A and B are shown apart, each in its own frame.
Chain A
Amino acid sequence: MHLSWIDYAIVLVYVGGTIIAGTLARGAIKGISDFLVAGRGLKTHMAVATMVSTGLGLVTVMYMAEEGFKYGFVPFVFGIMALITTLIIGRTGFIVSRLRYLEVMTVPEFYEMKYTRGVRLLGGIILTLAGTLNMGLFPILGSKFVVGFTGLDKEYVNYVMVAMLIIVVFYTLMGGMVSVVLTDFAQFVLLALGFFFGTYIIFNHPQLGWENMVQAVQLHKGDIGFDPIANPAYGISMILFLFCVGLVGVVWQPEMMRPLSAESPKVARRVFWISAATVMGRAMVPMFWGIAALTYFGDPDLDPHYAMPEMLGQILPIGIAGLMMAGMFAAFMSTHDSYLLAWSGVIVRDVVSPIKAMLAGSSGEREEDGTWGGLSSEREIYWVRAIVVILAAFLAIFGALYQLPETAFRFMYVTGSIYFSGAVGTIVLGLYWKKANTPGAYTALVLGALVPLNFLIMTENQESVPAFLLPLVENSNLVGLTSFIVGGLAMLIVASLTQRSHPPRSLDFNDMD
């Protein structure tokens, strides 16, 4: 065990505070919009804090560190692309302002406004599938950090995962988005402190420091540890893919919940403008830690999921180690609470509720309380809470059993593409192209999802893949890019061909600030 009782006491105080805040927040929940989007009352700085916290989960720290450990300084290019795309969104309000203006609570809700209830149902199912698969590795990676950092025996990794999930589920059930926002704020501050002290100590450690780390990358990776264009795992295709994901990734429900919770479309845009200044640091600091782990242990064949936390556990002094542990615990919780809430919200509002509305033959108009004629507001909250518990159980089982195809980072991006690819056609073109219609939306959703799904299936059965398709199995960047193009083209072609039979619905944004 690397930690002292002082470190554990710091962690316990933090976890206790989180549970109390979550319990208090229960009183603020009067309806489904309170539970899912905190009553749409978030001001700029709170929205920024909660968005940064969600984007900087423990799983992000782990897979960014893994990239640094495996590819050296090259993954820093991810931070640069994230900065560029976040600035574009912050400046133009691309997607976020218009969706906030429409007052939707989930992204597929937009499908019912622009297209039909059927598109919403299909979009909800695809988003649920992509979201839960994407989240599948979160708990196990978080648990590996705790085990590596504390020096616990690796056989406890599944028990730690379950214990951490129980804490998150408890306070998310209590206060929904209000709990998430409150705890995210504390997590935001703790995370930044953890980042600062961790990086400071690495910089000043006799075995580490910038120059030693550069030498270690040169020794273990060679020139391709520095040059992103020359590195075969990155290159132009990865850079282009990161740009597309950066722009379209905003439609990812957990990300989009913040702008949708903002008090106006203007605040929704401003949140991105301010948080743009954090995105490079959020990516590069954990990558820097991954490189430090490679330098510290000097063995590129180690499991990076354990190497980085083990290094931190060994080099951080008492007190700082506790702060770091609390910060990383905060990172674990801030992502899990948001994701559990986001996906449960989508399952209930965009899958269960529309089916109920269809069976009841309701007209499909939005009610005063934000429901659509399916479940009542109270029943939606009840079912969201139930699905949070079911999802958490699924994640525990998935995390314990699934083996990664490449790195965790690539798994996240490919599973995310199952949804993002269709989103190019249905959301981006739906918001900005007047001719976007229902047949185009169906085609974009289905074709966009098929390419990355194929990749996941082919990776598991490589021996039966034809030779001409092998590049797609070996390079996930190509899969991502191809699926974006397919999703966008599907809407453009099919909608153009079916304008007369299926005239598009128009949306009015003239009054938007």
Chain B
Amino acid sequence: MDVETWKALWKIIFIVASAMFYVVVAVVAFKGFGDVTQMMRNMSAGQGASESAAEAKRR
């Protein structure tokens, strides 16, 4: 492959890589927020991490 092809290829790959990164971050941040607040709520109630996990499985 010649150098000009590499230059064009890296540009496309970089744009695709960045787009994939930001999309996944946005989706994970949105969906994971509920899990984080639940975890904080359990901690405030004095529940241990294992107890919270066991309770979540029962539900």
In the complex, per-residue mask of A51-88: 1 if CB is within 8 Å of any chain B CB, else 0: 01000000000000000000001001001100000000
Q: A29-B48, A30-B48, A30-B51 are in contact. Are A188 and B6 (CB under 8 A)?
A: no
- Tell me, yes or no, whether A236 is within 8 Å of chain B by CB: no
Chain A, 195-214, CB within 8 A of any chain B CB: 195-196, 199, 210, 214
Q: A48-B32, A199-B18, A226-B10 are in contact. Are A41 and B24 (CB under 8 A)?
A: no
- Tell me, yes or no, whether A223 is within 8 Å of chain B by CB: yes
A24:B32 contact, CB within 8 angstroms: no
Report the bound CA distance from A288 to B14 in whole Å: 9
A285:B49 contact, CB within 8 angstroms: no
Q: Which residues of chain B are near A146, meaning CB under 8 Å?
A: none
Q: State the Cβ distance, A367 to closest chain B Cβ, in Å.
A: 14
B6:A281 contact, CB within 8 angstroms: no
In the complex, the 5 A-B pairs of residues with the closest C-beta atoms, listed nearest first: A41-B53, A281-B21, A39-B49, A30-B48, A45-B32
Using A227-B6, A285-B17 as known contacts, list a sample of 9 further A-B pairs with CB atoms less than 8 Å apart, ordered by residue number in A: A30-B49, A30-B50, A39-B49, A39-B51, A39-B52, A76-B10, A80-B13, A185-B32, A281-B17
A196:B43 contact, CB within 8 angstroms: no
Q: Which of A24, A227, A280, A282 contacts B13 (CB 8 A)?
A: A280
B35:A43 contact, CB within 8 angstroms: yes
Q: State the Cβ distance, A197 to closest chain B Cβ, in Å.
A: 12
Q: Which residues of chain A are near B28, meaning CB under 8 Å?
A: 45, 48-49, 52, 188, 274
Q: A178-B43, A226-B7 are in contact. Are A188 and B29 (CB under 8 A)?
A: yes
Q: Which residues of chain A are near B3, meaning CB under 8 Å?
A: 223, 226-227
Report the bound CA distance from A288 to B54 in whole Å: 44
A24 to B, closest residue via Cβ: B43
Q: Which residues of chain A are near B7, meaning CB under 8 Å?
A: 73, 214, 226
B53:A39 contact, CB within 8 angstroms: yes
A48 to B, closest residue via Cβ: B28
In the complex, per-residue mask of B3-27: 1 if CB is within 8 Å of any chain A CB, else 0: 1001100110110111011111110
Q: State the Cβ distance, B8 to closest chain A Cβ, in Å.
A: 10
Q: State the Cβ distance, A271 to closest chain B Cβ, in Å.
A: 10
Q: A227-B6, A281-B18 are in contact. Are A49 and B29 (CB under 8 A)?
A: yes
- Count residues of A near B (Cβ-Cβ below 8 Å): 51
A-B contact pairs, 6 of them (CB 8 A): A28-B39, A38-B53, A43-B35, A49-B29, A277-B24, A284-B18
Q: Which residues of chain B are near A80, meaning CB under 8 Å?
A: 13
B42:A281 contact, CB within 8 angstroms: no
Q: Which residues of chain B are near A189, meaning CB under 8 Å?
A: 25, 29
- Tell me, yes or no, whether A128 is within 8 Å of chain B by CB: no
Q: Which residues of chain B are near A48, meaning CB under 8 Å?
A: 24, 28, 32
Q: Which residues of chain B are near A498, meaning CB under 8 Å?
A: none
B26 to A, closest residue via Cβ: A192
Q: State the Cβ distance, B5 to closest chain A Cβ, in Å.
A: 9
A33:B20 contact, CB within 8 angstroms: no
Q: Which of A31, A195, A282 contacts B50 (CB 8 A)?
A: A31
Report the bound CA distance from A208 to B15 in whole Å: 16
In the complex, per-residue mask of A452-486: 1 if CB is within 8 Å of any chain B CB, else 0: 00000000000000000000000000000000000
A369 to B, closest residue via Cβ: B50
B49:A274 contact, CB within 8 angstroms: no
B17:A79 contact, CB within 8 angstroms: yes
Q: Which of B40, B44, B52 contacts A41 (CB 8 A)?
A: B52
Q: Which residues of chain B are near A188, meaning CB under 8 Å?
A: 25, 28-29
In the complex, per-residue mask of A260-277: 1 if CB is within 8 Å of any chain B CB, else 0: 000100000000001101
A192:B51 contact, CB within 8 angstroms: no
Q: Which of B13, B35, B44, B49 has the most C-beta atoms of chain A within 10 angstroms of its own C-beta? A: B49
- Tell me, yes or no, whether A278 is within 8 Å of chain B by CB: yes
Q: Which residues of chain B are near A25, meaning CB under 8 Å?
A: 43
Report the bound CA distance from A283 to B48 in whole Å: 36
A280:B29 contact, CB within 8 angstroms: no
Q: A39-B53, A226-B7, A278-B24 are in contact. Are A181 and B13 (CB under 8 A)?
A: no
Q: Which residues of chain A are near B23, meaning CB under 8 Å?
A: 277
Q: State the Cβ distance, A182 to closest chain B Cβ, in Å.
A: 7
Q: Which residues of chain A are near B6, meaning CB under 8 Å?
A: 73, 226-227
Chain A, 158-194, CB within 8 A of any chain B CB: 177-178, 181-182, 185, 188-189, 192
Q: Which of B1, B40, B42 contacts A227 (CB 8 A)?
A: B1
Q: State the Cβ distance, A283 to closest chain B Cβ, in Å.
A: 8
A263:B53 contact, CB within 8 angstroms: yes
Q: Which of B6, B46, B54 has the most C-beta atoms of chain A within 10 angstroms of its own C-beta? A: B6
A40:B14 contact, CB within 8 angstroms: no
Q: Which residues of chain A are near B18, meaning CB under 8 Å?
A: 199, 281, 284-285
Q: Which residues of chain A are near B17, meaning CB under 8 Å?
A: 79, 280-281, 283-285
- Tell me, yes or no, whether A27 is within 8 Å of chain B by CB: yes
Q: Which residues of chain B are near A33, meaning CB under 8 Å?
A: 49-50
